[in-house]
Structure 1
Amino acid sequence: MQPLLIIRSERGQMSAIERRIADFILENAHLLRDYSSQQLANALGISQSSVVKFSQKLGFKGYPDLKYSIGEAVARNGDGAEPVASGTDDHSQGVLARELWQAKSRAEEETRLLNPPDRIDAVAGMVRDAGKVFVVGTGEDSVMARAFAIRLSLLGFLAIHHFDPVLVPAEVSTSRPDDVLLLFSERGQAATLCQLARLFRSRGGRVVSVTRHTANPLRAHADLSLLVSAHDEAAHVEPLLYQAALQQLLDVVFLLLCGDESRRRQLADYHEHVRSLLDS
């Protein structure tokens, strides 16, 4: 994973001082070669040891190793400056659209790097082998959960979506050890979902949590976790990045589940049926 991606993806779990270092590096990556650890510490008003510990916490031997790695990444990908738009893209709407797309692309890349292929394969395998798949989300997460449950149903999986997690325990009481519970919660703090995960696992079921890449209670109660990284200073933009990165992650799982020819055929038959209804 590139060093700048590591810093972005880990930022949500950093202390206040670590976030200050991270933000400085992200904003001044192309200038970092001119900073020693002491100069960086002086610029931020912190101790040199904080810079060294920050580097080591990210998996580097020390600050020089981190600086060298970032220098290589900048040389390989350019200085990080945004290209100047031309023609109609000079219009504020064009600039807005381009910046949003770039931000979504960064969030998707960070999210992809946080979820190694073997983890994605394991989640797809759990769903593929499940007797029933329970899907639960709260708030805006319920929208993504419902959409994913519908797509699973179209592939022939017995997927059960619940809007209200308070009502799920009654359904869970009928679950079997080969069933799977997918819990969608951006912050992973919902006590109701944590209780539901404990109940489901006590009956032998397996739990998959879908949350941000943070240390949260829901992840601790899950057998497997899908993680999303999406950060932006603008409060109205960050949810857009989260939803885009999460959708891409779920799409990859869906495509893996489409590997079975009979399920693809069932999905194709459904789409053909819908087209015939719309054309009639």
Structure 2
Amino acid sequence: MSPLVKIRSERDQMSAVERRVADFILENAQLLRDYSSQQLADALGISQSSVVKFTQKLGFKGYPDLKYSVGEAIARADQGETEQVVPHARAAVGEPAGNLWRCKSGAEEETRLINSPDTLRAVAEAIAKAGATGKVFMIGLGDDDIYARSFALRLSLLGMAVVHHFDAARMAASVSAAGAGDVLLVFSEHGNHPALCKIGRFFRERRGRLISVTRHTSNPLRALADIALLVSAHDDRPYIQPVLYQSALQHLLDNVFVQLCESDEQRHGQLLRNLERVRQMLEP
């Protein structure tokens, strides 16, 4: 993972001082070669030791190693490789559309890197097992319900028994019928809704497996989950950040759905049959 992608993906978990260093590096990556650790500290109004601790926390031996690694990332980008040096930077005036797809691409790449293949495989296997022998429960409140509802429909097309609610009280009642091996997916961008955490605890008491879908931050729901799916999406503009989150989240769910389709021929066949039934129903 390049240093710039690593910084972006871990920014949400950083302290206020660390975020200042991270944002400076992301926004001025091309200038970093001209800064010593002391000059960077002076520019940000922090101590030199804070800069050194920041680099070590990222896994580098020191500031020179970070600076060298960033320089390599910039050189690769200049040679036409796909990584964007500053995916969340503001576009030049007149180029909003081009900047948006680069921002989306960056958010999706960061999200892919922080969710390991083993994690995605574990999520797909847990859902597949629950869908074959039990039930898959799903809930999201507000905007999060858009993705819970869509994913629930997709799993239904695969022949799985899905219990979807957008009301916490109804879900609390429904999970009382959950059993060992069932799965509950909770969609919560910030992962701190008290009702959803209570439902998660109740579900685990029923020996079900809890899968959280949240931002890449430290939050109560993520800490409670058996498996955590994480979304990384950052931008200083309040109207762009939710767009990036939605795009990266959809890409993450698409990945899980494709694994479910391709890992079992019977599920794939059931999907095709159900899609044909839906097409026939919608025909005039």
TM-score by length of 1: 0.93
Residue 77 and residue 15 in structure 1: after superposition, are their counterparts in 2 closer, same or farther (change >3 A)? same
Match of 1:20 in 2: 20
Q: Which runs of 5+ in 1 are unaligned?
A: 83-89
SS in 2 for 1:231: coil
Aligned pairs, number: 271
Quote the Cα distance in structure 2 between the aligned partners of 1:241 and 1:160.
Answer: 28
SS in 2 for 1:215: coil
Shift in Å at residue 173 of structure 1? Answer: 1.0
Q: Does 1:3 align with 2:3?
A: yes
Q: Does 1:37 align with 2:37?
A: yes
Deviations 1:73-124 (A, max 9, x none): 1111129489xxxxxxx994xx222111111000000000000000000000
Match of 1:85 in 2: none
CA contact (8 A) 2:4 2:85 kept: no
Match of 1:87 in 2: none
CA RMSD in angstroms comes to 1.6
TM-score by length of 2: 0.92
Q: Does 1:144 align with 2:156?
A: no
SS in 2 for 1:70: helix
Equivalent position to 2:194, from 181, 185, 191? 191
SS in 2 for 1:227: strand
Match of 1:112 in 2: 112
Equivalent position to 1:273, from 258, 271, 277? 277
Residue 274 and residue 173 in structure 1: after superposition, are their counterparts in 2 closer, same or farther (change >3 A)? closer
CA contact (8 A) 2:233 2:245 kept: yes
Quote the Cα distance in structure 1 between the aligned partners of 2:19 and 2:223.
Answer: 24
Match of 1:213 in 2: 216
CA contact (8 A) 2:182 2:208 kept: yes
Shift in Å at residue 278 of structure 1? Answer: 3.6
Q: Does 1:201 align with 2:204?
A: yes
Q: 4+ runs of 1 displaced by more than 4 Å?
A: 79-82
Residue 81 and residue 181 in structure 1: after superposition, are their counterparts in 2 closer, same or farther (change >3 A)? closer
Shift in Å at residue 62 of structure 1? Answer: 1.2
Q: Does 1:61 align with 2:64?
A: no
Q: How does 1:72-83 map to 2 (within 5 A)?
A: 72-78=72-78, 80=85
Match of 1:181 in 2: 184
Quote the Cα distance in structure 2 between the aligned partners of 1:30 and 1:55.
Answer: 17
Quote the Cα distance in structure 2 between the aligned partners of 1:97 and 1:43.
Answer: 32
Residue 164 and residue 96 in structure 1: after superposition, are their counterparts in 2 closer, same or farther (change >3 A)? same
Match of 1:253 in 2: 256
Shift in Å at residue 23 of structure 1? Answer: 0.9
Question: Structure 1 counterpart of 2:100, which letter?
Answer: L
Quote the Cα distance in structure 2 between the aligned partners of 1:277 and 1:183.
Answer: 31
Quote the Cα distance in structure 1 between the aligned partners of 2:142 and 2:117.
Answer: 29
Question: Structure 2 counterpart of 1:59, which letter?
Answer: G
Match of 2:163 in 1: 160
SS in 1 for 2:177: coil
Quote the Cα distance in structure 2 between the aligned partners of 1:242 and 1:81.
Answer: 17
After superposing the two structures, state which structure 1 stretch, 260-269 or 20-29, moved more: 260-269
Match of 2:99 in 1: 99
